[in-house]
Each structure stands twice: as C-alpha cells, then as structure tokens.
A and B are shown apart, each in its own frame.
Chain A
Amino acid sequence: MSSNYNLFATEESVIESFSEKLAQKSHFEASEIEQILKEYKKLFKSTKRLVRMSDRKEKELNSLNTLMKEKNALLELLSERLSRYISPQLAKTILEDKQDVLLETSRKKLTIFFSDIVGFAEIADKLESEELTYHLNAYLEEMTKVALEYGATIDKYMGDSLMVFFGDPVSKGVKEDALLCVQMALEMRKRIRSLINNGTILPFKTRIGINTGYGTVGNFGSKSRMDYTVIGKEVNIASRLEGVANEGEIVVSDATYQLVKENIKCEERGVFELKGVSHPVKAYRVDGKKSKGKNSSHIFDTELFGGAASINIDSDKLTQEEKQALLKFLEDVSEKLRYEEKLERENQ
C-alpha cells in the first residue's frame, strides 16, 4: 500500500497558510487572529492528550516491566528448584528453549561415569536410618558439587551409586569431555578423602568406572513422564568397570584411556570379560594427573595407592632454603613412617 498521506497534514497546512500571510502583510484582522487562536487551542488540546496518553502508556509499560521482573524471578526460582531434580545443564537447555521436551533421542559419543560405595549394604545394615541418610547425603552432595563444577550431566542417583555423563546436552568435544570426566573423578576422590579426614562423613570407600563410546541419549519413557538418560552397551561397560574397580580405584576403558593418556597417568589393569559385553575390555587404573611442566624432572605430581598418598612438588619455585626445609620435612616423614612400620611389626 503506497500513499503520500501525512499524519500531520492539518497542522502543517495551518503553519504554511499563516506563514504565507505573515510574509505578505504586517497587520492581521481580528477574525484571522481568532482562527489562529482556534487552531492553536486545538493543537494544544491534541498535544495535552498525546502527552497524557504517552504518560499512561509509560506507566503501563513500567507496570508490565515490574510484572515481567516478578515472573522472571519466579521462573528463576522454579528453574533452580527444577535443577535439583534434573541436571542443571539440562534444566537450562530446556528453560532457554534450546531443546524440546519430546520423546526424542540421538546417538552421541559420550563419556559415562559410574561410582558407588564399596560394602554400602553392610554399612546401611549397621546404621540408624537418620545417620545413614546424613552421611549418604553429605557424600552425594559433595560428589554432585564436583560433577557440576566439571560440567557433567547428572543422570541418576541409585542409592549410593551415581551415574553421570559428559557430551550431552553440551559437549566440549569428545576428547575434552573424556578428560573432564577423569579429572572430575580424581577431584571427587580427593574431596571425599578430605571429608573423611575431617570427620564429616564415614570412611566410605568408593570405586569408579568410566567408559567412552556411542550411546543413545535423550528422553525415554512416556509423553507424560520421561527421563533424560543414556542407554547402550557403552553404559553397561562403564557400570561393569566400576564393578571390577577395587576400593578407591578409578578404572577406565581403553577407549577413555586413549583420549586422556596425554594428560592422565594410568596403569594397565588387565583385560576383562564383562557380563553382557561380547568382547573383552582392556582397562586401566587412573593414578593421577601428569605434570604440566616442560622440564618434568623438576616437578613431582603423583598420586599413589589409589589416591591414599599424593606428592606435588614444583622444585623450580622453591628457594634454596625452602628446598633444605622440604628435605628436612621429607626426612621427618620418612622417619615417622619407619617408626610406625616398626611398631606395627613389633605388635604382630
């Protein structure tokens, strides 16, 4: 639709007409002044009305803005509550409308993690329910905290077991996902040890299994109630590797090992025939992170005995005096350990 229509044509024609008259003569008749006055009054009325309407619209806009802020706050609260039941990444993806809540799945390369507490059934048998709840929740709280720090998608809790995965709904690439998963497992082991040492939780012994491979990830269930999870044989392998891990051990499959070996120190753990898996699976025990220094002879960064001991020394950063003090300290530690060992031998 094309038109030369001018919204302010009337006002402009009044201005134009009187400008012309003003250019032609210096004296105006009373009737002409009355006409100007009439037009001016009309304009004044219109202006007042437009200002009033504009103010009203502004007021309405402000109240809508307030309402929107309230709704946003409510949405944030609901999102925060929702994220306690599902993975925060997943909640965020759904709430930001990046993913439809449909019964849809896709095949992706994921790194899947399983952990549990060794002998949990026996521990549960000996404890009162409240005490057990407290210790289990404190344990899972810390595990979850670490998982979220590393960007894991928390799949589910099954009693004392935890299943998380990397690679969906967000992925940093297959290699980085695998590395983050193993680094997360190491951090979990460290934090749990610290909780045990300060007496927050019972001396739970955890074991962890990790595998990388293609899985079907997405929503499973019914349209009215669905679970976001991953299924496939690689999930089974991760779960079974957790089963073969000893107390405090992190066991990864060869597939995961190949992705993390540049950054993570691992020891071959053997080849396993796992239940429900048609082929033997080569596995590795994760010992710790590899040192990042260019000259590794100056740096010691080692986790020993399933994380029961760790040494982290960057000798380049130490002054001569500090090196002397460190040597003295290590000699003291050595002496103390020998003394403890001697006592144990004598007591046997």
Chain B
Amino acid sequence: MERIFIEKTESTPLVDFDFEKGVFLLKGESYPENVSSFYGEIFEKLEVFVRESEDRDISVEIELIYFNSSSVKAIMNFLDMMEELANNGNKVTINWLYEADDETIMEFGEEFSEDLESVEFHLKEI
C-alpha cells in the first residue's frame, strides 16, 4: 500500500503513514476546515490496511499540540481502528507525545487511552 505523506500546514498536521513498515506519524495542529475531507482518504486507506493486516508490529506516534472538536472525533475513529488492528492479532503501540508544560494535551492522551484495551498506549513527555 502506498505511503501517505502530507506536509503540515497551519491548520493540518504532518501525516506520515508508512503502511509497508507499519509506522504512522501525526504531528502538529489539527483544525482543518473540513475534517472529513482531510482525514477521509487517509482513513479509507487505513480501513483497508486494518482489514488486511495480521500478526504485524504497528508503531504509532501522535504529537498534536492543538486539535478542534471534529478532530477529536477523527482521533477517536483512528484509535478505534488501532484497537481493531490489535484485536486482529497485531501488536499495536501508540506513543502519545506531549510537551512538558502542556497538561491539556497530556490529559487528552489519558482520556483517549481509556477506551483502548488491546493497544499498548504510552504517554511520553518531550
């Protein structure tokens, strides 16, 4: 599956999804004008990846410093897919990165991790 690489902009994060290696990176701010349009193609590919993957190591790094409410829903959908991957026999590790003085982002990470049972979720201060 072709790698997705999208440079970050003022309102959208850097997206680097390397499906071959099973390494996914989301970094920056996320408040696109149209969340469905921005994440749509990425998530459609990801859904195919989820269906086709088994017994793989998947590593996810999320370093978001700001996101709007629609992006929260998009992240929740993304994490659901990661949970499904883990439930399908893959080893999924998510590193949620936050800056030392950014309590809000840390708490969001804690909040997101509550739903994850099969995914290995780490909060990491940078």
A145 at the interface (CB under 8 A from B): no
A interface, over-half SS: helix
B58 to chain A minimum Cβ distance, whole angstroms, is 21
Q: How far is the CA of A10 from the CA of B47 in the complex (A)?
A: 12
Q: Mark A5-16, 1 if CB is under 8 A from B, else 0.
A: 111101000000
Q: Which residue of B lies closest to A9 (CB)?
A: B77
B73 at the interface (CB under 8 A from A): yes
Interface size on A, residues (CB 8 A): 19
**Contact A49–B111 (Cβ < 8 Å):** yes
**Contact A3–B69 (Cβ < 8 Å):** no
Given A52-B111, A56-B104, residue A2 in contact with residue B69 (CB < 8 A): no
**Contacts between chains A and B (CB distance < 8 A), count:** 54
Chain A residues with Cβ under 8 A from B73's Cβ? 7-8, 46, 50
**Contact B69–A56 (Cβ < 8 Å):** no
**Contact A4–B111 (Cβ < 8 Å):** no
Interface size on B, residues (CB 8 A): 24
Given A50-B72, A53-B111, A57-B69, residue A1 in contact with residue B37 (CB < 8 A): yes
Binds A, one of B38-46, B48-56, B90-98, B117-125: B38-46
A60 at the interface (CB under 8 A from B): yes
A45 at the interface (CB under 8 A from B): yes
Closest 6 CB pairs of A and B: A3-B40, A5-B40, A3-B41, A5-B36, A7-B73, A1-B41
Which B positions have Cβ atoms within 8 angstroms of A?
Answer: 35-41, 43-44, 69-70, 72-74, 76-77, 80, 104, 107-108, 111-112, 114-115
Which A positions have Cβ atoms within 8 angstroms of B?
Answer: 1-8, 10, 45-46, 49-50, 52-54, 56-57, 60
